[in-house]
Each structure stands twice: as C-alpha cells, then as structure tokens.
C-alpha cells in the first residue's frame, strides 16, 4: 500500500481524536452503518483532496466501509493533522499522501500520487485535484465517473471550467447544498476562525475593531462570532446586497481604505485575490493582526507587504511580525493561509457531519446515476439535501410540526384572499 505521511507512530493519538469527532457526527455514522451492510461503493476508487482532519478521517472510513478504495491528499499544505493521517494508513489501509508543512512541490506530488491510484470519483476541496487532472493528467480522464466539490472557491473554478467548455466530467457542488453552506460556511467558519486567531495570538477581542473583508456566508458567521466576543465589527464589501445586509445586521460598513486606519484585527473571507494590499498595510495601526480564512492564500498581498517591510521575525507559532519602513509592525497569521485550519482544527465535527454526509451521499448518487450525467456542475439533489437536514434534526432530538390537510390544501390554492 502506498502512502506518504509524517510518522506512523502518531496513529494512536489520531485514533482517539477521530473517535472524539465521531461522537458529534451521528448523520455520517448512520450512513457508515448502512454503507457497511450495502457496500454501494464496491469496486470504486475514490481520490480525495481534502483537509486531512479528524472529520475527514471519519468520512474516509465511511467511504471505505462502503466498499471503496480510498486515497487522500491534503487540500492545503498546512492543514494536515499528522496523527489522523497515521491512523488512516495504519488501521484502515487508506492511502494518505499528506504532511503538515509540506512544500508546494510536495503538495502537487501528493496530488499526483492520488491520481496514480486511478480514481473513478474525485472529491475535491478547492479544485486543485480537478485542475491538475485537466492540466497534467488528461490520460486519467477516461476513468472518471464524476466528482464532488466541497467549497465555494472550488465551485467557482469548476463553473468557470464548465462555462468555457473545458470540464471533462460531471461534478456535484456539495458546497451549494443548503445543509452545507448554511451551517459549515457560516457557523463552522465563524467559530473555527475565531478559534484559530485566538490560539495563534491569545489576544483579547473584546473592545477591539474587528474588520471582516467579505460578507458571504463565511463573513456573516465570522462577524456574528466576533460581535459575540465584544468586538466592534466593521465589514468591507464589493457587493451592494451583501453590504446592505451587513448594515441591517448592525455592522459598520466602509471601504477597506478607511477600515485600514482603525482596525485592530483584519480577516479576509472573500475568495478573491489581493484584497488587503500595500496601500492598506501602510495605513494600518502599529501591532495589528492580519489573517485570512478564505480557501487560498491569495487574499493578502504578502509580496506587496514584503516590499514595504524592513524586517521580519517569527514571534510565536503562526505569527510573523513585519516591521515596515514607516516603523509600524504588522502581524501576519499562518502565512496568510486559512487560519482556522492552520492554527486551529477547522470546523467543529457537528457541522462537518452535514457537509460530509452530503459528500458520502453524493458519491453514492454518482455511482448510481453517472451514465445520465453531462460534463457540467450539478447541484446536490434536493432529496439528498433534505435527507441530511432530516437526519441531523432527528439526531439532535428536535421535533417539528406537520402541515394539517387544510394548510396543505391552502398552500396549493389561489382563490382565498382577504
Ligand atoms: N474545512 C473546514 N473545516 C474542516 C474540517 N474540520 N475538516 C475538513 N475540512 C474542513
């Protein structure tokens, strides 16, 4: 069996932490038990490019129980939990190619190692696996039945590929399922980003100006949690509707140029490139904390920052202090990579339960229905989304009302008005 991990001896810690996460993943657990009996993925090779966390560990085990051969590489060089990788290799025979802190070159070597496993289905988080396949490994494309994509950034890339007519197999946009982005992107990112910032800095958030760049689902969650810690939240946006929503949610909205002068914490969650640039860094106060929780490390213009800095030093794990030529200090967290996975452990298991239940059910759906697909990006079927919502609510012990017959009829009628 092939693999490339840091240290197999870390497996014991990984086992316990994967079990700990499983306690909060009851929906995935039910799917795992059904998969174990029915083996819907028998004979299928799944190649995954995901953050190698305890939650991903539980997903990989579920797919394996379903009869699949599973290989995984990291979807970010800094997000791998090495003990998880060790346990998956040692106890489950899952081929993991991921080491926390791997270089960009090794990151792509690992992606290619997963492609060497000849996947029938890809499971991507950010679309690096899919883009490598389309750029460098076109020979493998004929093998593919379909794929899934976990995150907003990846779905944007894939839709752009589909629009240009270059996408060569069907992919399901797991991110766009309601039971994914309503919860994972909002509550998951909200909590885990704050967790990452606090673990990295141990700074007090209360009473500070906390600037959130981007008010999509992730920005909404982050703003809500920063406010909960007592920060004065400032939102920056380029989208009028999102900006309006932020205003009505009670946040100050202003251009980044102005926010730069008064912020204490800055966090980007836009999915776009060079959001915080040289001109903003120059205006910032001395000692500010700047980080990113968007998928790629492109949101902070670190090249621009380096060009106006005269010194750099590592203050503590994941904190790099830049001294600018104007004498002010800027602290960059986690090299501008997603701080919730670099300095913390990513989203809590309870939300990943729904994201990864969608992943598992979508893989099953692809295996059953791939012959009917075209080479485009598909929404997660409503039935899958609603099944996940139903299972999660039940697992939480929450009961809801049913429509009465009269109400059901009313909703389909038009005659009755004032
Ligand atoms: N993305 C964000 N949080 C995650 C987690 N805990 N596991 C896998 N992927 C994630």
pLDDT tens-digit map of 345-370: 999 999 999 999 999 999 999 999 99
Place of tokens 């906390």: 210
Distances (CA, A) of 312 to 197, 240, 289, 323, 367: 20, 37, 14, 6, 51
What is the C-alpha to C-alpha distance for residues 167 and 362, in angstroms, rounded to an integer? 19
Q: Evaluate: CB of 180 within 6 angstroms of ligand 1.
A: no
Q: Evaluate: CB of 17 within 6 angstroms of ligand 1.
A: no
**Mean of the pLDDT values across residues 81-85?**
98
Buried b (16+ CB within 10 A) or exposed e, 357-395: bbbbbbbbbbbeeeeebebebbebeeebbebbbebbeeb
**Which residue's C-alpha comes closest to atom 9 of ligand 1?**
51
Per-residue confidence band for 380, with pLDDT thresholds at 50, 70 and 90: very high
Q: Evaluate: CB of 347 within 6 angstroms of ligand 1.
A: yes
Q: Which residues contact 202 (CB under 8 A, 6 or more apart)?
A: none
What is the C-alpha to C-alpha distance for residues 47 and 146, in angstroms, rounded to an integer? 11
Q: Evaluate: CB of 346 within 6 angstroms of ligand 1.
A: yes
Decide: 28 and 356 in contact? Cβ < 8 Å: yes
Please tell me the distance between residue 376's alpha carbon and the centre of ligand 1 in angstroms. 25
pLDDT (tens digit, 9 = 90+) per residue, 310-327? 999 999 999 999 999 999
Q: Which residues contact 384 (CB under 8 A, 6 or more apart)?
A: 177, 358, 361, 362, 365
Q: Evaluate: CB of 218 within 6 angstroms of ligand 1.
A: no
What is the C-alpha to C-alpha distance for residues 256 and 244, in angstroms, rounded to an integer? 16
CATH superfamily ID and name for 186-342? NAD(P)-binding Rossmann-like Domain (3.40.50.720)
pLDDT at residue 83, as a whole number: 98
What is the C-alpha to C-alpha distance for residues 198 and 400, in angstroms, rounded to an integer? 37
pLDDT at residue 374, as a whole number: 95
Q: Evaluate: CB of 55 within 6 angstroms of ligand 1.
A: yes
What is the C-alpha to C-alpha distance for residues 69 and 387, in angstroms, rounded to an integer? 25
Decide: 207 and 360 in contact? Cβ < 8 Å: no
**Mean of the pLDDT values across residues 79-96?**
98
pLDDT at residue 69, as a whole number: 98
Buried b (16+ CB within 10 A) or exposed e, 199-238: bbbeeebeebbbbbbbbbbbbbbbbbbbbebebbbbbbbe
Q: Evaluate: CB of 56 within 6 angstroms of ligand 1.
A: yes
pLDDT (tens digit, 9 = 90+) per residue, 202-260? 999 999 999 999 999 999 999 999 999 999 999 999 999 999 999 999 999 999 999 99
Decide: 131 and 107 in contact? Cβ < 8 Å: no
Decide: 87 and 14 in contact? Cβ < 8 Å: yes
Please tell me the distance between residue 188's alpha carbon and the centre of ligand 1 in angstroms. 8
**Ligand 1 atom at minimum distance from 192 CA:** 3
What is the C-alpha to C-alpha distance for residues 50 and 80, in angstroms, rounded to an integer? 9
The two beta strands, 329-333 and 319-324, are: antiparallel
Mutate to test the pocket of ligand 1, among 60, 124, 188 (most ligand atoms within 8 A of CB): 188
For the chain, what percent of residues have pLDDT higher than 70?
100
Terminus-to-terminus CA distance in the chain, angstroms?
Answer: 70
Q: Evaluate: CB of 191 within 6 angstroms of ligand 1.
A: no
What is the C-alpha to C-alpha distance for residues 227 and 312, in angstroms, rounded to an integer? 31
Neighbours of 10 (CB within 10 A): 18
pLDDT at residue 367, as a whole number: 98
Per-residue confidence band for 279, with pLDDT thresholds at 50, 70 and 90: very high
Place of tokens 């029938």: 120
Architecture in CATH for domain 8-180+347-395: 3-Layer(aba) Sandwich (3.40)
Q: Evaluate: CB of 295 within 6 angstroms of ligand 1.
A: no
Cα torsion for 204, 206, 207, 213, to the nearest 10°?
90
pLDDT at residue 140, as a whole number: 93
Please tell me the distance between residue 181's alpha carbon and the centre of ligand 1 in angstroms. 13
Please tell me the distance between residue 362's alpha carbon and the centre of ligand 1 in angstroms. 18
Please tell me the distance between residue 410's alpha carbon and the centre of ligand 1 in angstroms. 42
Cα torsion for 299, 303, 306, 312, to the nearest 10°?
70
Mutate to test the pocket of ligand 1, among 21, 53, 153, 154 (most ligand atoms within 8 A of CB): 53
Q: Which residues contact 282 (CB under 8 A, 6 or more apart)?
A: 308, 324, 326
CA 78 to chain centre: 13
What is the C-alpha to C-alpha distance for residues 312 and 170, in angstroms, rounded to an integer? 45
**Residue 202: enclosing H or E segment and its boundaries?**
none
Please tell me the distance between residue 93's alpha carbon and the centre of ligand 1 in angstroms. 22
pLDDT (tens digit, 9 = 90+) per residue, 188-204? 999 999 999 999 999 99
pLDDT at residue 4, as a whole number: 98
Please tell me the distance between residue 105's alpha carbon and the centre of ligand 1 in angstroms. 23
**Mean of the pLDDT values across residues 58-86?**
97
Could you tell me which residues are beta bridge partners of residue 213?
236, 268
Neighbours of 411 (CB within 10 A): 8
Per CATH, 8-180+347-395 and 186-342 having the same topology is answered: yes
The structural domains of the chain, with segments of one domain joined by +, span: 8-180+347-395, 186-342
**Which residue's C-alpha comes closest to atom 8 of ligand 1?**
51
**Mean of the pLDDT values across residues 139-152?**
96
DSSP per position, 151-184: SHHHHHHHHHHHHTT---S-EEEGGGSHHHIIII
- Six token digits for residue 298: 């492109």
Q: Evaluate: CB of 52 within 6 angstroms of ligand 1.
A: no
Mutate to test the pocket of ligand 1, among 181, 347, 354 (most ligand atoms within 8 A of CB): 347
pLDDT (tens digit, 9 = 90+) per residue, 281-307? 999 999 999 999 999 999 999 999 999
Q: Evaluate: CB of 51 within 6 angstroms of ligand 1.
A: yes
pLDDT at residue 105, as a whole number: 98
């Amino acid at each position: 069996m092939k693999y490339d991990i840091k240290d197999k001896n870390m497996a014991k810690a990984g086992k316990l932490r994967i079990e700990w996460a499983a306690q909060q993943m009851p929906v995935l657990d039910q799917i795992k038990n059904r998969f174990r009996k029915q083996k819907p993925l028998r004979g299928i090779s799944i190649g995954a490019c995901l953050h190698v966390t305890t939650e991903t560990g539980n997903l990989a085990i579920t797919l394996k129980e379903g009869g699949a051969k599973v290989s995984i590489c990291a979807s970010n060089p800094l997000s791998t939990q090495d003990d998880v990788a060790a346990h998956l290799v040692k106890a489950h025979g899952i081929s993991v190619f991921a080491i926390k802190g791997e270089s960009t070159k090794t990151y792509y070597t690992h992606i290619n190692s997963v492609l060497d496993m000849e996947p029938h289905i890809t499971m991507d988080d950010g679309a690096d696996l899919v883009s490598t396949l389309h750029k460098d490994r076109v020979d493998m494309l004929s093998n593919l039945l379909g794929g899934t994509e976990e995150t907003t950034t990846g779905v944007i890339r894939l839709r752009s590929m589909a629009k240009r007519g270059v996408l060569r197999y069907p992919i399901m946009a797991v991110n766009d399922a309601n039971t994914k982005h309503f919860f994972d992107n909002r509550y998951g990112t909200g909590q885990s980003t704050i967790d990452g910032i606090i673990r990295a800095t141990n700074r007090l958030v209360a009473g500070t100006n906390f600037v959130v760049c981007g008010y999509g689902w992730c920005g909404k969650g982050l703003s809500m949690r920063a406010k909960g810690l007592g920060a004065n939240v400032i939102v920056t946006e380029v989208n009028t509707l999102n900006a309006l929503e932020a205003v009505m949610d009670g946040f100050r909205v202003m251009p980044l140029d102005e926010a730069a002068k008064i912020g204490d914490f800055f966090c980007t969650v836009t999915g776009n490139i060079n959001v915080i640039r040289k001109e903003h860094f120059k205006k910032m106060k001395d000692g500010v904390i700047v980080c990113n929780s968007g998928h790629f490390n492109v949101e902070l213009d670190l090249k621009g920052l380096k060009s106006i800095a005269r010194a750099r030093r590592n203050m503590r794990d994941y904190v790099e202090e830049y001294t600018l030529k104007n004498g002010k200090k800027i602290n960059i967290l986690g090299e501008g990579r997603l701080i919730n996975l670099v300095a913390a452990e990513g989203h809590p298991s309870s939300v990943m339960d729904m994201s990864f239940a969608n992943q598992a059910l979508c893989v099953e759906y692809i295996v059953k229905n791939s012959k009917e697909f075209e080479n485009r990006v598909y929404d997660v079927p409503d039935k899958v989304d609603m099944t996940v919502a139903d299972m999660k609510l039940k697992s939480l012990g929450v009961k809801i009302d049913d429509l009465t017959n009269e109400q059901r009829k009313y909703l389909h009628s038009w005659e009755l008005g004032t």
